[in-house]
Structures are given as C-alpha cells and as structure tokens.
Amino acid sequence: MPDKSELRALLSEAAERSIRYRENSVERRVAPAPEAVVAVERFVEPLPDSGSDDTDVLAMLDDIGSPATVTMTGPRYFGFVIGGSLPVTVATNWLTTAWDQNVGMHEVTPATATLERVAMDWMIDLFGLPKNAAASFVTGATVANFSALAAARNRVFADIGWNVEADGLIGAPPLTIIVSEETHPTVFKSLGLLGFGRNRVVKAAVDEQGRIDIGRFPDIGGPTIVCTQAGNVNTGAFDPVGEICELVKPKGAWVHVDGAFGLWAAASPDLEHLCDGFQAADSWATDAHKWLNVPYDCGVAFVRDNEALKSAMAITAEYLMTETESRNPSDFTPELSRRARGVDVWAALRSLGRQGTADMINRCCSNARRFAGALTEAGYEVLNDVVLNQVLVSFGDDATNRTIIDEIQREGTCWCGVTVWQGRTAMRISVCNWSTTTEDVDRSLDAILAIARQQNY
C-alpha cells in the first residue's frame, strides 16, 4: 500500500507520461513502427509469483505499450469511425477514474448520477428528441442498439398482449423486423442477442448511396420494428427516417434509428436538415466516443417510451436501493455496475457548448469535402456523395486499391481503411477527430497522392 508521497509520485508520473504521449500525438507516426509491434510480446510472460514496484509496472506499460499504439487520438487517423478524445475529457476522465464510482444507483453516487442526467438532457436538447425520453449510457452504439431494441421488443409485444420479459419468445406471436440492405452489422448482432435471430428479417432495398428507397419499402402488416440508420458507415448517407415514420407509425410500427455517428448532424444547424423528421422515431442509438470525441467507451440509447426501456432493464433486490424517488441509472442499462462514462459527455459538452459542438461537427465535414475535392481533382474517383464526414475513393482496380491502402497505412503519415462499396474496393476516409486541421488534411493528401502516383495510378 503506497503512502501519501508514493501515491503522489505514482499518479504524477502517470500524468507526466500521459502528457508526453499526448504532446507527441500530432507528430508521431500514425501506424506504430513494426519493431514496436514485435516488442509487445514482452508483455507475454507467466504470472509473476511476487509483485513489482508500482512505478515499474507503469514504466513497463508506457515503455512497451505506448510505442505500439496506433495514434488513434491524433489528427491524421481516418480509420473506421474513430474520434479522438478532447483534452478536457481526458482530464475529467482521470478524475472520475480516481473517484471510482459505481454509478448504478443514484443514492450512493449522487454526483456522477446527476452529471449523467444533465449530459442526457443536453443531448436530448441538442438532437431535438422528446424531452421525457429515457436515456442510458452504455459501452457503444452496439449496446445502445441492443438496449433500444430490447425496449422495442417489450413495447411491441406488450401491445399485442404478450409479456416477453416474463414469458420469453418461445410461443410468442410473430413479429416482423424490417432492416435495410445497408443496416450496420451490430444491429443484426443485437437482433440475435434479443432472440429475434440475425436472419429472420425483411430487408428494405436501398439506393446507390445506401439509403432506404422509400418507393420500394416493404408492406407493413402486424407488429413490426423498423431499423433505420442515420449515417451509413461507408457513405455517411441518411435513411429517410421522417418519411418512413409517416408511412409505418400509423400502422403501429416501432421505428429505431442507429445514429452511431450520424445523429450528431442534428447538433449542427448547417447539417440538421439531414435529420429532418428523425424526432418522430421511437428510439435512437448513438456514440459519444466517435464524434463527440470522448474517451472509449461511451454510447447512448434514447427511448421515447421511458417505461419500455425500464421494463427491459430494471431489477429489484432487497439489498439494492431500487425503490427510490431518484432516477437510478441502472434501471435503464444492461449493466448493474459500471463506470460513470456519462461524465465524459458532460465535460465535452460543458467545454464546447452548443456552438463549439456544432463547429467541431462542421469542421470534420468541411475537411471531408476538402479530401474529396483534392482527390477528384487529382483524377481519382470519389464513390459517394460527401454529405457528412465519410469519403470513399477508388484509385483503380481492387488490387491496386489494396496495394495503395496498405502502403498508406505502412508509411505512417495518416491512416485510412479499406472497404468494399457496392462491389468495388475503395479507401475509406472518416474525419471524426476534433483536432484535425486543414494542414493535416493537406499533409495526408500529399502522402496519399505520392503513394498512389508511385503505383503509376
């Protein structure tokens, strides 16, 4: 057990090493050097019989681990849909970790439970969602989709007189799940976890941008859940959720929106038109660890019908303070015990404010357009309409694309991923980091174009 001065020395050393890492994150290679990746094998050892000095443990982590990290938090990481972490959220995350609160029950964690409630209310306001919607902080959009669809399952079955919480799905009346050909795989995973089955779905057709084609929407009859999307993971395109709601809500269907990153468009007056009519849906899932740039992990589920989410998630036990006037966070999440991840959201929004949040979203989109413009000008084909922060570019045939993308990742100036869009291999650029500047875009473009030209394309 360290005494006070050892505790101070250890935590100061951790802060110092973290600061050094973050200071270098603008200039360091994005992909780690191959020898650093090989060196992580030094972690692989038998469990030591006796313990080590805490500062040695920290040093080992930093000395071996830090060089082997991909600089996801830096301004030239454009892989998947990965935000960085705003400095304020790293700082408040450290303090929250030091508090080590289990935020399941309000009465025992009043500070963090209140901060989470404020953060939820702010997001409900930013996205224009119903004021009394239930919200819950979970690990990411995967679990946010799962949680919202669990609420959907309870409500839709309750409406036809079946208590799915009590009686499960065996022998339950049939229910139709409508997804699209472009629904994110995590929604299928959620459907599997919820007992619906990943494949027992009706697929709505999509257009060339991956949006549900409302003209070819399947007929609705009987109890139905419709899964829509705000922000296609490849193109950034939005399903016409407003129109879908108008079509299916009068027939009693539940409409869910997977807005892992796209829902943040609603926080920008310049982009909110993309989310027109989304507020008419019944549930929404998003991530804060993507576009709000808070540390991993942080997703959020919103459900219009408070009771539907609570009926799926709440538990009671004599030893738990479940009968309380206050809002117990664990009444709305799959977990009972968890970290207070909502504090990171509170810190980001408190620091950015409404305007700063909109600016951050707009900046990423404008940088995405800068990428698209320069790549088109250089003679390469941009495969999507760049409506948000995603750019798909093709340098030629599939093999050429893969060779160029591998080389871009290896070279280290920036990092972009590979995808297959409507049968064509392409490079995916996702601009999500708060700190990416136009200079970072230009520097990345220089590296990308030099590599593409080396391949004679």
Ligand X SMILES: Cc1ncc(COP(=O)(O)O)c(C=O)c1O
Judged by the rule CB under 6 A, the positions of this chain that interact with ligand X are 80-81, 140-142, 184, 186, 229, 231, 233, 258, 260-261, 287, 299
- Nearest residue (CB) to ligand X, 140 versus 223: 140
- Nearest residue (CB) to ligand X, 164 versus 387: 387
Give dist(CA 175, CA 351) in Å, integer.
44
Q: How far is the CB of 296 from ligand X (least distance, A)?
A: 9
Q: How far is the CB of 295 from ligand X (least distance, A)?
A: 13
- Nearest residue (CB) to ligand X, 184 versus 310: 184
Peptide bond into 297 cis (omega under 30): yes
- Nearest residue (CB) to ligand X, 105 versus 141: 141
Is the Cβ–Cβ distance between 116 and 329 less than 8 Å? Answer: yes
Give me the helices (H) in 194-340, please: 241-248, 306-313
- Nearest residue (CB) to ligand X, 206 versus 452: 206
- Nearest residue (CB) to ligand X, 284 versus 332: 284
First-to-last C-alpha distance (Å) of the chain: 61
361: left (phi over 0), alpha (psi -120 to 50) or beta: alpha
Q: How far is the CB of 83 from ligand X (least distance, A)?
A: 10
Q: How far is the CB of 117 from ligand X (least distance, A)?
A: 22
Beta strands in 307-389 (DSSP E): 381-382
- Nearest residue (CB) to ligand X, 99 versus 296: 296
Is the Cβ–Cβ distance between 141 and 186 less than 8 Å? Answer: yes
- Nearest residue (CB) to ligand X, 109 versus 190: 190
Q: How far is the CB of 320 from ligand X (least distance, A)?
A: 28
Q: How far is the CB of 387 from ligand X (least distance, A)?
A: 14
Q: How far is the CB of 350 from ligand X (least distance, A)?
A: 23
Give dist(CA 102, CA 252) in Å, integer.
38
DSSP secondary structure letters along 30-97: SSPPHHHHHHGGGG--PPPSS---HHHHHHHIIIIIGGGS--TTSTTB-STT-----HHHHHHHHHHH
* Nearest one of 289, 222, 255, 58 to 151, comparing CA atoms: 255
Helix (H) or strand (E) holding 371: helix 342-377
Is the Cβ–Cβ distance between 371 and 382 less than 8 Å? Answer: no
- Nearest residue (CB) to ligand X, 103 versus 260: 260
Q: What is the arrangement of strands in the sheet containing 424-430, beginning at the earlier edge strand?
A: 381-382, 390-394, 424-430, 417-421
Give dist(CA 132, CA 303) in Å, integer.
9
Q: How far is the CB of 378 from ligand X (least distance, A)?
A: 28
Q: How far is the CB of 79 from ligand X (least distance, A)?
A: 11
What residues contact 196, with CB distance under 8 A and at least 6 apart? Answer: 153, 169, 175, 177
Q: How far is the CB of 385 from ligand X (least distance, A)?
A: 17
Three-state SS at 421: strand
Query: For residue 33, how many other CB atoms are within 10 A of its CB?
Result: 13
Ranked by CB distance to ligand X, the top (closest) residue is 140
What residues contact 208, with CB distance under 8 A and at least 6 apart? Answer: 422
Helix (H) or strand (E) holding 286: strand 283-287
- Nearest residue (CB) to ligand X, 74 versus 259: 259
Dihedrals phi, psi of 302, to nearest 5 degrees? -125, 135
Q: How far is the CB of 299 from ligand X (least distance, A)?
A: 5
- Nearest residue (CB) to ligand X, 287 versus 440: 287
